[in-house]
């Protein structure tokens, strides 16, 4: 019998013995096996795979002929949803889903252009610093949520549509709004035409220091102390329009009454 074939049973038994080691550490350089945990650079691994490096060099280096890639497989996931791939290629870092059967990309995932810092969600080639894309739908593609509520953003051909949570169950002390006060508050906020120092763009807006004097609740400061103004909400603008409508309706009623009285006097 071929002497190489005779070695196969011995090698197999050695491998089995190595895999079932439990309770004792097996060390080869910086590789340690402790029970069912493997440590690299640490002799008492705390996790299934524990990599430790006390120097300033990289803990993990993945390299391929044209790209570096890692794949994580979830055996309990539905078909075609069980593989997540982390890929670095040509200055692009990408996290995407892989089709189990066809080994093809199923979704664009998240992309980071390492050279520019541009981030893409749902696209492999972000054109701006942050691009969120989903051409499979014509509905909302961005959601913002905090402890107060949720807002969804739907881009349209003519502009942006925001839909925000407004359920009665989220509110307390509900009472009719004072639309006249809204109008007066808005009229108290002076508008200025100005030029942005950095870009030179022409804009119309507020001066934070001036708003802070009469409406301090609308002004806050960022990390470096630069003042920011809370912009009027759509509901405030609508309230001001409603107040103006009421005022105009009252004036029209008075004009109608005066015209009728004047007509009666002329008739006499």
Residue ranges of domains in the chain: 19-53, 67-134, 179-267
Residue keyed to tokens 């993945």? 62
Q: Is the pLDDT of residue 11 over 80?
A: no
Confidence at residue 24, expressed as pLDDT on a 0 to 100 scale: 45
Q: What's the mean per-residue pLDDT of the chain?
A: 84
Instruction: Look at 96 and 7; give whichever has higher pLDDT.
Output: 96
The tens digit of pLDDT for each residue in 44-87 reads: 899 999 988 887 777 777 777 666 777 777 778 776 677 777 87
Beta-carbon contacts of 35 under 8 Å, excluding residues fewer than 6 positions away, are 22, 23
The band of 122, judged by pLDDT with boundaries at 50, 70 and 90, is confident
Q: Are 131 and 143 in contact (CB under 8 A)?
A: no
The stretch 100-125 carries a mean pLDDT of: 78
Q: Which two tokens stand for residue 56?
A: 């300033």
Res 79: pLDDT = 67
Does the model's pTM come out above 0.75? Answer: no
C-alpha–C-alpha distance, residues 86 and 134, integer Å: 21
| pLDDT number for residue 96 | 78
- Kindly state the percentage of the chain with pLDDT values over 90: 53
Answer yes or no: is pLDDT of 10 > 60. Answer: no
Location of structure tokens 């006097």 = 265
> How many residues comprise the chain?
268
pLDDT, tens digit, 9 for 90 and up, residues 186-245: 999 999 999 999 999 999 999 999 999 999 999 999 999 999 999 999 999 999 999 999
Q: What pLDDT digit, counting tens, does each position of 154-196 carry?
A: 999 889 999 999 999 999 999 999 999 999 999 999 999 999 9
Give the whole-number percent of the chain exceeding pLDDT 70. 83
Residue 252 CA to residue 255 CA, distance in Å, equals 5
């Amino acid at each position: 019998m071929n002497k190489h074939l005779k070695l196969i049973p011995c090698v197999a038994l050695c491998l089995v013995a190595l895999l079932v080691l439990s309770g004792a550490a097996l060390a080869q350089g910086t590789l340690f096996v402790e029970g069912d945990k493997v440590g690299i650079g640490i002799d008492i691994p705390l996790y299934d795979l524990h990599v430790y490096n006390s120097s300033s060099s990289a803990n993990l280096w993945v390299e391929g002929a044209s790209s570096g890639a890692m794949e994580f497989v979830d055996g309990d996931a539905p078909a075609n949803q069980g593989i997540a791939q982390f890929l670095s290629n040509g200055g692009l870092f990408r996290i995407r889903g892989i089709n189990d059967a066809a080994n093809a990309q199923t979704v664009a995932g998240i992309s980071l252009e390492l050279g520019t810092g541009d981030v893409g969600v749902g696209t492999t080639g972000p054109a701006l610093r942050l691009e969120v894309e989903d051409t499979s739908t014509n509905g909302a593609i961005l959601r913002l949520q905090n402890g107060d509520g949720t807002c969804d953003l739907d881009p349209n051909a003519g502009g942006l549509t925001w839909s925000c949570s407004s359920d009665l169950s989220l509110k307390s002390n509900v009472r009719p709004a004072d639309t006249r006060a809204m109008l007066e508050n808005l009229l108290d906020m002076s508008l200025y035409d100005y030029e942005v120092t950095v870009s030179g763009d022409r804009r119309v807006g507020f001066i934070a220091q001036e708003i802070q004097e009469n409406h301090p609740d609308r002004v806050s400061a960022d990390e470096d102390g630069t003042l920011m103004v809370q912009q009027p909400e759509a509901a405030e603008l609508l309230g001001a329009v409603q107040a103006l409508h009421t005022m105009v309706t009252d004036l029209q009623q008075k004009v109608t009454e005066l015209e009728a009285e004047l007509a009666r006097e002329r008739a006499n």
